Chain A
Amino acid sequence: MTDAPAPRHIPDRLDKPLSSAIFSWEALLVVIAVAIFVINSFASPYFLDPWSLSDLTFNFTEKGLIALAMALLIISGEIDLSVAAIVALASTMMGMAVQAGAGTPVLVAIGIVVGLACGAFNGLLVTRLGLPSIVVTIGTMSLFRGIAFIILGDQAYKGYPESFAFFGQGYVWWVFSFELALFLVAALIYWFVLHRTSFGRRVFAIGYNPVACQFSGVRVARIKFILFCLTGLMSGIASVLITSRLGSTRPSIAQGYELEAITMVVLGGVSILGGAGSILGVVLAAFIMGLVTFGLGLLNVPGIVMSIFIGLLLIIVIALPIVWRRLREGRFA
């Protein structure tokens, strides 16, 4: 997990744009997504209804928002396992504010600020004290959700104002929900930041070789700190959406989201060792996971069995290119 990435083969000339696009990871994901879409529409007569397709998007938008920021963090060689706990803590704080009579704008602000603060706390521990992020965030995962449990116990907060329900239940236009619109806008922003700015190039460079970056004048610690803050921020936003959609807060809210968000990121072609990945891949992976869970749901497959498909999908999609390459080189096993 902490092994250095293998030295990369540097070709004499670049592949032609078309052939590199056809053989890219994203193309593989598109093929998988289309295949699952077609299978789903044959398997269930209800699948192709616009409203059920709209419902489908709720399966991944919240986790997808977290996955966007998580992708940058993993590309930079770090990880954040505390995202779901941040969602729970932010939701609990919003619930407390409701009991004190806060209105919708205040609630949204609280959700976002708590998320940002939790992310900054993770970032400080990792960058200031030089601790491994996987352990720090396992700790803060227990801490953040633990605080939610201390405050709430076995109770639940309810009574969110009616205007607050828009974020998780409202529609922008026809069947396009606010959640989906927000996810697409955020994806566009993250795509621009990662692939079109010098900040994005630095994120890749840090993941590929943090020491060389340090010597090249890149402020490694500061950029990693910003990425932790971004992940916290996105978790806070996701918390607003989930709380608004469910209309209540329990300390066990969003349990297990961290692993699903990481699965999306890895399925999207981001190297868990850092240094490689794309936002398009993550967005496609989010759609694929939504398609799989929703399609199986229409067929009355229980959620726990769906998780087998998600797990298999993750391992097979990662293993396939490796097996394929080895078979071509004739040196498998």
Chain B
Amino acid sequence: MKGFLKYREIWLLAGIVVLIGLISTRFPGFADPANLRQVFNDTSILMILALGQMVVILTRSIDLSMASNLCFTGMVVAMLNAAHPAIPIPVLIVIALAVGLVLGAINGFLVWRLNIPSIVVTLGTLTIYRGATFVVSGGAWVNADQMSPAFINFQRTAFLGLPVLSWIAIIVIALFFLVMTRTAIGRSIYAIGVNPTASVYAGIDVGRTRFIVFCISGMIGGLAGYLWISRYVIASVEVANGYELNIIAACVIGGISIAGGIGSVGGAVLGALFLGIISNALPVINISPFWQMAISGSAIILAVVLNARGERRQGRIILRKAEAA
């Protein structure tokens, strides 16, 4: 039981349950399974994005360009759909993944080959990708009536009781879980975050692994681009403006250490869910949505304070084990 309680995810999960309980006292329908499914579906895109950001942060890097990537890829996919409604949705999804991959690979190349700090690279591409959206679209919007019904309805189709969007999130979560816990690349990502120098001596190509994580976050950004546009049925230059910080906030609340090496798939998912529950709950319990920003800001600060304590405690446990050995 004690070993069980030391996992940060358990505490976060408990926090979420308490949060849902508190909301239910004000609005009894909130804890209803149908409503919780709705909240999960609403948060799907943020969960996917948080996982993409997580692998980058684990390697002591950061990707500030994810929201701009989402905006650019979403616009490309929406324009393709508007111009050629006959292209089937799976092909569009593959295109979205490919466009996102290219944008992520540009980030990764600059970080890998030129050794520019990732925060500088992605600060630059953050503005470049959003600007490129304007160039591609000429500043025009793609509206709901220009998108094909299949484009809009694909993610809303119910399948085994859940919308396809939720299933996509579940599949992505499962894939990330497998990669992070069961593959060599997953272990390399953690190893680089814990100690890049030791990783080099252990035969891990740090630069190449960083390139790969940026490719992953790029592909995720691209996938989220299609999902976002087909969910909110409008593509414009303003889509997801400033959202990169929400993604990082989800990671931080989920216990992913910005110093690298600490964090889990479960944490990222729960961190995103925490933000999703707050944004879903505020309107139903009659709190002005203008409170949301301040609440998530406080949650981030609180989470980072708690995480810092958790990390310190973990350090002592390792020492005690070393003493005992």
A contact residues vs B (CB 8 Å cutoff): 1-3, 81, 125, 129-132, 134-136, 138-147, 149-150, 153-154, 251, 255-256, 259, 262-263, 266, 272-273, 302, 304-308, 310-312, 314-315, 318-319, 322-323, 333
In the complex, the answer to whether B120 meets A307 with C-beta atoms within 8 Å is no
Closest Cβ–Cβ distance, residue A116 to chain B (whole Å):
19
In the bound assembly, the distance between CA atoms of A263 and B131 in angstroms comes to 16
Closest Cβ–Cβ distance, residue A127 to chain B (whole Å):
13
Q: Is B14 an interface residue (CB 8 A)?
A: no
In the bound assembly, the distance between CA atoms of A308 and B131 in angstroms comes to 5
In the complex, the answer to whether B135 meets A308 with C-beta atoms within 8 Å is yes
Q: Is B149 an interface residue (CB 8 A)?
A: no
In the bound assembly, the distance between CA atoms of A315 and B118 in angstroms comes to 11
- Asked, given contacts A1-B61, A322-B115, whether A262 binds B123 with beta carbons under 8 Å apart, the answer is yes
In the complex, the answer to whether A129 meets B305 with C-beta atoms within 8 Å is yes
Can you list 13 A-B contacts (CB < 8 A)? Answer: A3-B60, A135-B258, A135-B304, A139-B298, A142-B245, A143-B294, A143-B301, A146-B290, A153-B290, A272-B117, A305-B131, A307-B127, A312-B124
Closest Cβ–Cβ distance, residue A9 to chain B (whole Å):
15
Q: Is B126 an interface residue (CB 8 A)?
A: yes
B312 closest partner in A (C-beta)? A130
A144: chain B residues at CB < 8 Å are 297
Closest Cβ–Cβ distance, residue B217 to chain A (whole Å):
15
In the complex, the answer to whether A136 meets B304 with C-beta atoms within 8 Å is yes
Main DSSP-derived SS at the A contact region: helix
Closest Cβ–Cβ distance, residue B128 to chain A (whole Å):
4
A136: chain B residues at CB < 8 Å are 301, 304
B242: chain A residues at CB < 8 Å are 255-256
In the bound assembly, the distance between CA atoms of A149 and B68 in angstroms comes to 24
Q: Is B280 an interface residue (CB 8 A)?
A: no
- Asked, given contacts A131-B304, A138-B245, A139-B304, whether A319 binds B130 with beta carbons under 8 Å apart, the answer is no
Closest Cβ–Cβ distance, residue B267 to chain A (whole Å):
14
In the complex, the answer to whether B124 meets A139 with C-beta atoms within 8 Å is no
Most chain B C-beta atoms within 10 Å of own C-beta, residue among A134, A138, A150, A272: A138
**In chain B between 27 and 72, which residues have their CB closer than 8 angstroms to a CB of chain A?**
60-62, 64
In the complex, the answer to whether B119 meets A311 with C-beta atoms within 8 Å is no
In the bound assembly, the distance between CA atoms of A306 and B121 in angstroms comes to 17
In the bound assembly, the distance between CA atoms of A143 and B303 in angstroms comes to 14
In the complex, the answer to whether B293 meets A142 with C-beta atoms within 8 Å is yes
In the complex, the answer to whether A259 meets B300 with C-beta atoms within 8 Å is no
In the complex, the answer to whether B291 meets A311 with C-beta atoms within 8 Å is no
Q: Is B125 an interface residue (CB 8 A)?
A: yes
In the bound assembly, the distance between CA atoms of A155 and B287 in angstroms comes to 17
Select which of B128, B196, B260, B291 is within 8 A of A150 by beta carbon: B291
B contact residues vs A (CB 8 Å cutoff): 60-62, 64, 110, 113-121, 123-128, 130-132, 134-135, 139, 196, 237, 242, 245, 248-249, 252, 258-260, 288, 290-301, 304-305, 308
A311: chain B residues at CB < 8 Å are 123-128, 131
In the bound assembly, the distance between CA atoms of A143 and B305 in angstroms comes to 15
Closest Cβ–Cβ distance, residue B262 to chain A (whole Å):
12
Main DSSP-derived SS at the B contact region: helix
In the complex, the answer to whether A143 meets B114 with C-beta atoms within 8 Å is no
In the bound assembly, the distance between CA atoms of A184 and B61 in angstroms comes to 35
Closest Cβ–Cβ distance, residue A41 to chain B (whole Å):
25
In the complex, the answer to whether A138 meets B125 with C-beta atoms within 8 Å is no
Most chain B C-beta atoms within 10 Å of own C-beta, residue among A145, A147, A304: A304
In the complex, the answer to whether B123 meets A302 with C-beta atoms within 8 Å is no
A255: chain B residues at CB < 8 Å are 242
In the complex, the answer to whether A125 meets B127 with C-beta atoms within 8 Å is no
In the complex, the answer to whether A266 meets B305 with C-beta atoms within 8 Å is no
Most chain A C-beta atoms within 10 Å of own C-beta, residue among B124, B139, B291, B304: B124
With A132-B258, A142-B245, A307-B131 given, name 18 new contacts (CB 8 A): A1-B117, A1-B119, A81-B245, A125-B305, A132-B259, A135-B300, A135-B304, A138-B245, A141-B297, A143-B298, A144-B297, A154-B290, A259-B123, A262-B123, A272-B117, A273-B117, A311-B131, A315-B124
In the bound assembly, the distance between CA atoms of A286 and B182 in angstroms comes to 48
B259: chain A residues at CB < 8 Å are 2, 132
In the complex, the answer to whether B296 meets A142 with C-beta atoms within 8 Å is yes
Select which of B127, B260, B290 is within 8 A of A308 by beta carbon: B127
In the complex, the answer to whether A302 meets B301 with C-beta atoms within 8 Å is no
Considering the complex of A and B, which 4 residue pairs feature the smallest CB-CB distances, nearest first? Answer: A146-B294, A142-B297, A143-B297, A146-B293
In the complex, the answer to whether A142 meets B116 with C-beta atoms within 8 Å is no
In the bound assembly, the distance between CA atoms of A141 and B115 in angstroms comes to 29
In the complex, the answer to whether A266 meets B304 with C-beta atoms within 8 Å is no
In the bound assembly, the distance between CA atoms of A52 and B200 in angstroms comes to 54
In the complex, the answer to whether B124 meets A314 with C-beta atoms within 8 Å is yes
In the bound assembly, the distance between CA atoms of A305 and B134 in angstroms comes to 7
Select which of A125, A138, A266, A312 is within 8 A of B128 by beta carbon: A312
In the bound assembly, the distance between CA atoms of A52 and B196 in angstroms comes to 51
A154 closest partner in B (C-beta)? B290
B117: chain A residues at CB < 8 Å are 1, 272-273
In the bound assembly, the distance between CA atoms of A131 and B245 in angstroms comes to 18
In the complex, the answer to whether B116 meets A153 with C-beta atoms within 8 Å is no
- Asked, given contacts A2-B259, A272-B117, A305-B135, whether A315 binds B293 with beta carbons under 8 Å apart, the answer is no
B125 closest partner in A (C-beta)? A311
